[in-house]
Amino acid sequence: MNAPLPWLAPKTHLPRHMTEPPRIYLDNAATSWPKPPGVLAAVRRHLEQLGAPSGRGAYREAVDVDRGIEQARLGLARLIGTDNARQVVFMFNGSDALNLAIHGLVRPGDHVVTTVCEHNSVLRPLRMLQETADLEVTYVRCNGQGLVDPTDIQQALRPTTRLVALVQASNVTGALQPVAEVGHLLAEHPAKFLVDAAQSLGHVPIDVDQLGVDLLAAPGHKGLLAPLGTGCLYIRPGLEHELRPIRQGGTGTISDQDVQPETLPAKYECGIHNVPGILGIGAAVQFLMEQTVQAIEEHEACQTRRLLEGLREIPDVTVYGPDDISLRVGVVSFSIDGSDPQEIAAMLDAGHRVQTRAGFHCAPKMHQALGTTERGGTVRLSLGWATTEEDVRGAVDAVRQIAAVAV
């Protein structure tokens, strides 16, 4: 796909007498921007017109809110390939969803298999359980491109392995892990399979049944294109009997009792929802379904290929992650020999308005595996649905100029 997708609006350029270049936003792995217009409209409608909480009233606006939340839940379920919408639980963010999956499932004395590619939202809960609950954890290695071998995960399994946790797409290298292969291997093992879809949901098609996933966690504000402060956890039917809630509180159901409901989704959703955010999820999912995730995947792959080709032509620049574009998403980390990543990021923004993130990206073991810890991590450029060829060209030109004076 060489032509921009039809939803991409033309860039707004500053008048010639103004020297500041146009903004190039390449920090979509942190949060997606811009949001689709429907997301803004959904949030504004609640703030300006509805104003009601969820599950707490029977008046017209409250009913409208409840209907919108259930439509968002159904849309999410369809997006990940399931018709069982009540197995999709709304959370506050991706970390919240991962914490529920890990703390709710793991028991003292269990064994967990994960990888060096994981985000701290997996690593830190596991570390705490190692210190407080006699948990054993095996960290499977990756190769030089950041890819994990499913055989290594299979060999790490034990009879006591309760959970296998795997990030689908690395937030450092962009590497797409072999989730389907791992899910197939686990079909004959009692361990549950948790997939961190923070950098994949909305960027690549996902079908939880085909992947063999038991738990799928994701934030709303990244590839789902929804507001900050939103997230979701898919729970395979039946697993709710093993997965303990980690919060208790008001749900608007069985309010005459002081015990947490056992029914879904109320078992895991307590307190007032982030209603504007969840209605934003509903609008974002509608946008993704209309445009199709496949089309967005193709568009981002095209721009990622351009970015990789441009960066690899620059002397003294090292690019991390798979060479094969089919094995990665639009997350591209690089370094310039002898230069601090934070300084490079600051120069990109100050001199070229290229906005990105530098450092360890909350994935310390990934950087240890890449050998980038001592240099302070990497600079990460992350593409999204609205990234254009012009954005990529501007970013590559900016890196080329900085690399020329950095060494």
What is the pLDDT at residue 18? 55
Q: How many domains does one find in the chain?
A: 2
Strands 215-219 and 192-196: parallel
* Same structural domain, 287 and 377: no
Given pLDDT bands bounded at 50, 70 and 90, which one contains residue 253? Answer: confident
Phi, psi of 139 (to 5 degrees): -105, 110
User: Is the pLDDT score of 2 beyond 60?
Assistant: no
Is residue 30 in a domain? no
Same domain, 285 and 314: no
Give me the mean pLDDT over the 360-374 stretch: 98
**Residue 335: which of 306, 361, 303 has the closest Cα?**
361
Q: Which residue has the tokens 């639009």?
A: 330
Q: Render pLDDT for 9-66 as a digit per residue (tens, 0 to 9).
A: 545 444 444 567 899 999 999 999 999 999 999 999 999 999 999 988 899 999 999 9
Same domain for 151 and 186: yes
pLDDT band, very low/low/confident/very high, at 406 (cuts 50, 70, 90) = confident
CA 293, CA 284: separation in Å to the nearest integer? Answer: 12
Grouping H, G, I as helix, E, B as strand and the rest as coil, residue 323 is coil
> What CATH number did the domain enclosing 361 receive?
3.90.1150.10
User: Tokens for 32?
Assistant: 């997606």
pLDDT for the residue 57: 87
**One-letter amino acid of 61:** E
Q: Which of 260, 291, 322 is the last residue of a domain?
A: 291
DSSP of 235-261: E-TTGGGT---S-----SSSTTSSS--
Last residue of a domain, one of 246, 272, 291: 291
Please state whether the peptide bond connecting residue 34 to the residue before it is cis, i.e. omega within 30 degrees of 0. Answer: yes
CB 100 within 8 A of CB 246: yes
* Residues 315 and 263 reside in one and the same domain: no
Are 141 and 282 in the same domain? yes
321-335 pLDDT, tens digit each: 999 999 999 999 999
Boundary-marking domain end, from 264, 291, 318: 291
Q: What share of residues in the chain are helix, strand, coil (percent, to 5)?
A: 40, 15, 45
Q: Could you tell me the end-to-end alpha-carbon distance of the chain, in angstroms, rounded to an integer?
A: 36
How far, in Å, CA of 190 to CA of 389, rounded? 46
Select from 383, 380, 369, 379 the least CA-distant residue to 118: 369
Amino acid 20: pLDDT: 76
Q: Over 90: is that where the pLDDT of 256 sits?
A: no
| In a shared domain, residues 261 and 279 | yes
Asked if residue 180 is part of any domain, the answer here is: yes
- Please enumerate in sequence order all residues whose Cβ is within 8 A of that of 316, keeping only pairs 6 or more positions apart, or say none: 336, 337, 338, 403, 406, 407
| Residues 256 and 301 both lie in one domain | no
Q: Averaged over 109-138, what is the pLDDT?
A: 97
22: in domain: no
In terms of domains, do 273 and 339 share one? no
Segments forming the whole domain that contains residue 203: 39-291
* Residue 13 within a domain: no
For residue 3, pLDDT over 90 is answered with: no
Strands 331-336 and 24-25: unpaired
Q: What are phi and psi of 334, to 5 degrees?
A: -145, 165
Mean pLDDT confidence for 130-145 = 96
Band (81; pLDDT cuts 50, 70, 90): very high
pLDDT tens readout for residues 213-241: 999 999 999 999 999 999 999 999 999 99
